[in-house]
Amino acid sequence: MKPKNKVKEKIVKGVPTFGSWIMIGHLASAEILAQAGFDWITVDMEHTAIDYNTLQVLLAGIRSHGAEGFVRIEDNNPVVIKRVLDCGANGIIVPLVNTREEAERAVQAARYPPEGFRGVSLGRASGYGDNFDDYFHSANREIVVIAQIEHYIAVENIESIVSVEGLDGVFLGPYDLSGSMNIVAQFDHPKMKDARRKVKEATLKAGKALGFHEVRPEADGVKALLEEGFNFIACSIDTLFLSSASKRLMQSIVENQTS
């Protein structure tokens, strides 16, 4: 059956998808980014103070403008995964997945029995129970599960991680990965280049989505990632969009005054 989740459908077809990132817990951020035309928007709950009540508002704003709502969860914890999905997330990005077993646990926590062990709820995701049957019978094939690869142990286990059935892809985290090898932010270091190549080759060979976050709000970085083979690309962050646009404007004003 064809997925209703448009990002899932593109992943299955091997078509690149483009998303962005929310760190400001306000509906305006969700709606502005979704209106821009991104395929998906990820709400970051790992590195922000965003709570579950705010999450529901953000997901509603994202979905109302045609994008899929994802969440970068705080931990590979079945309770966290269950609550985020019950809030209405269409996908999860799971931090610090280092082994096949950890990837399997994330997938199973996101799926209802018999494919997993996600608990049943009549929450927002199922229309508060109003369309429970449809949601229950479609969620397992619709929910996107992405594992973050951000430790050298994960790189060592990448082939077994991407072989997990139900895992839709991986998301490379270069800062934490470089830190795990004691070469923080040395992205041109031979160890980092080798790790990146290994993750890329294994993931694409397995036919899974290959993710990366181009934090600069510039198109050239996204273009370079596409040429390299990445096909699940996060384009900057709400905070950086705001910062870069305001700084560019003020710089232009100052230059015009002094010219």
Q: Which residues are catalytic?
A: 47
Amino acid at 99: T
CB 116 within 8 A of CB 108: yes
CB 44 within 8 A of CB 73: no
